Amino acid sequence: MLVTRRDLGGAGWDEVALPASSGWSFALRDCVGYHDADYPAQRRRLAVRGTAFSQGRAGRLVQALIELYPPGWSAEALDDVRGVVQNCGRYEHIASLHSHSIVEVDFAGQEALLVHSTEIWPYEEPTEWWTAVVRRDDLVATVTGHGLTDTELRKIAIKAAARLN
């Protein structure tokens, strides 16, 4: 059910360890408006599996998580993402500016969200990434891509959605 190297397209992708911080992709604890209690589906997850791939020198990274929820809670999980983006769409932390916005919906699975995120630090180029969250039945796949375009990430998310069964 997880994303595979073949799903990514192109050459040079290596499987890498998931970062230790690979919990819920939208736990934006640096945002003043974020409160864990506002997102109940995250406490209802029954199981989580993940994988990550890096395209070495290109600096591209894909992380994919598959979450299993009790019946009815996977739709609530996408509502949680919508809530976080609404409450923490733009915020400052230390000297950086963070923004998150839902730019596309319902492109895969029974329900899907494509979120564009940026982080801006003074005197540095902005960092940009895309996250797709797709749902089918009681499963939710979250695919995050750093160094990818929205089109590339959407294609990977569509493949991930097809694997949810």
Residue type, 113: L
- What is the CATH number for 155? 3.40.1000
**Sheet hosting strand 111-120, strand order edge to edge:** 14-16, 47-54, 61-68, 139-146, 127-136, 111-120, 96-105, 90-93
Q: How many domains does the chain have?
A: 1
Question: What domain range includes position 146?
Answer: 12-18+25-163
Q: Is residue 5 domain-resident?
A: no
Q: What pTM value is reported for the model?
A: 0.93
Q: Is residue 7 domain-resident?
A: no
Q: Is residue 86 domain-resident?
A: yes
- pLDDT at position 62: 95
Q: Is residue 1 domain-resident?
A: no
10 has pLDDT over 90: no
Q: Is residue 64 domain-resident?
A: yes
Q: What is the DSSP string of 25-59?
A: TT--TTSTT--GGG-GGGGG--EEEEEEEE-GGG-
- pLDDT at position 22: 60
Q: Is residue 125 domain-resident?
A: yes
Residue type, 142: T
